[in-house]
């Protein structure tokens, strides 16, 4: 009798262990301690509506957050209930992706999060199955993750080279402003004296390109959903391509040091001469 009780106890214990293991394996977000099943892989997945997007190995869609402009996560507290973080301690990268584009950040609570081209990655809790992309353009600040974005959207505090904080109207003040960046989150500017598809700043010998480098993107890939791809084009400036938006040639600011979240150019030489760009930007004046 005692022997049978011992055997029964062992069977129950083993059953509970197996049940717990299965529960963990079915957790679509990896249980917070690294992903399980195929979620430890990131791959390019063809989506019927959105084309090629980034998903985990189970086909669950991944997203970028515009407020993560400086590379750290701005999604905390209740935000995480809707947008769980993606993290893999031993990430596997699918065909067409470069492992060098992925990284890991430590969040404010000490947990880890995987990044792609500097953008922290998230799931959307409402996406119940593989192929769901219900979070794209949510609040105009969440975007499906892709590997071929030509530009991205950031929403962040503008801080000029003078150390002052600015609003979107270039008045001194505190507040978040949406603006266009390159795919790595580096701020792009236009030049107020330019004309439609005419760069009036860059010299033929590019001797001033170090201060305001042109965005020399030659091929226009995907565009965030709140922008129109038709508003983007390229021109040639003394033999080099330059990306334009609504006719405005786009530039970097050298002292931003290719650093995400830097917007020092907005105050140079005075606020508004080198503005940021967003969906509200007016079409550049004709030549």
| Banded model confidence at residue 38, pLDDT cuts 50, 70, 90 | confident
Q: How far apart are CA 154 and CA 79, in angstroms?
A: 17
In a domain, 54, yes or no: yes
Contact 143, 63 (CB under 8 A): yes
17 belongs to a structural domain: no
Dihedral angle computed from the Cα positions of residues 251, 253, 254 and 260, in that order, rounded to the nearest 10 degrees: -110
Residues 156 and 261 both lie in one domain = yes
Residue 281 lies in a domain: no
Which tens digits make up the pLDDT trace of 200-223? 999 999 999 999 999 999 999 999
**Residue at which a domain ends, from 118, 147, 176:** 147
Q: Which helix (H) or strand (E) holds 244?
A: strand 240-245
| Pairing state between β 51-56 and 176-182 | unpaired
Encode pLDDT of 245-280 as tens digits: 999 999 999 999 999 999 999 999 999 999 999 999
Per-residue pLDDT, 80: 98
Query: What digits encode the pLDDT tens for the residues 110-169?
Result: 999 999 999 999 999 999 999 999 999 999 999 999 999 999 999 999 999 999 999 999
Query: Is residue 239 domain-shared with residue 178, that is, in the same domain?
Result: yes
d(CA 209, CA 114) in angstroms, rounded, equals 34
Among 117, 127, 137, 147, CA closest to 59? 127
Residue 217 sits in the same domain as residue 157: yes
Residues 87 and 105 in one domain: yes
pTM of the predicted structure, to 2 decimals: 0.87
Total structural domains in the chain?
2
Instruction: Output the pLDDT for position 39.
Output: 85
Q: What distance in Å separates the CA atoms of residue 208 and residue 203, rounded to the nearest whole number?
A: 6
pLDDT for res 37: 64
Contact 40, 33 (CB under 8 A): no
Tell me which residue range forms the domain holding 81.
31-147
Report helix, strand or coil for 150.
Answer: coil
Is 76 a member of any domain? yes
Spatial CA neighbour of 88 closest among 109, 126, 116: 116
Q: Are residues 79 and 185 in the same domain?
A: no
């Amino acid at each position: 009798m005692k022997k049978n009780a011992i055997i029964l106890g062992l069977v129950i214990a083993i059953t509970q262990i197996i049940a717990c293991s299965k529960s963990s394996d079915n957790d679509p977000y990896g249980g917070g301690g690294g992903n399980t099943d195929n979620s430890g892989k990131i791959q390019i997945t063809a989506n019927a509506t959105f084309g090629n997007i980034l998903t985990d190995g189970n086909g669950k869609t991944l997203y970028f957050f515009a407020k993560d402009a400086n590379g750290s996560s701005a999604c905390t507290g209740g935000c995480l209930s809707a947008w769980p973080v993606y993290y893999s301690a031993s990430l596997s990268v699918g065909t067409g992706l470069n492992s060098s584009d992925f990284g890991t950040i430590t969040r404010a609570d000490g947990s880890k999060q995987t990044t792609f081209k500097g953008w922290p990655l998230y799931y959307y809790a409402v996406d119940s199955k593989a192929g769901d992309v219900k979070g794209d353009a949510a609040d105009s600040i969440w975007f499906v993750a892709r590997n071929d974005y030509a530009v991205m959207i950031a929403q962040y505090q503008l801080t000029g080279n003078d150390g002052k904080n600015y609003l979107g109207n270039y008045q001194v003040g505190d507040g978040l402003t949406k603006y266009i960046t390159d795919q790595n989150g580096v701020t792009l500017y236009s030049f107020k004296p330019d004309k439609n598809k005419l760069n009036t700043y860059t010299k033929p010998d590019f001797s001033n390109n170090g201060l305001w480098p042109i965005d020399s993107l030659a091929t226009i890939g995907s565009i965030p959903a709140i922008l129109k791809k038709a508003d983007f084009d390229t021109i040639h400036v003394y033999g080099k391509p330059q990306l334009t938006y609504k006719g405005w040639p786009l530039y970097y600011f050298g002292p931003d040091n290719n650093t995400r979240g830097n917007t020092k150019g907005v105050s140079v030489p005075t606020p508004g001469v080198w503005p940021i760009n967003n969906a509200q930007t007016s079409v550049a004046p004709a030549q």
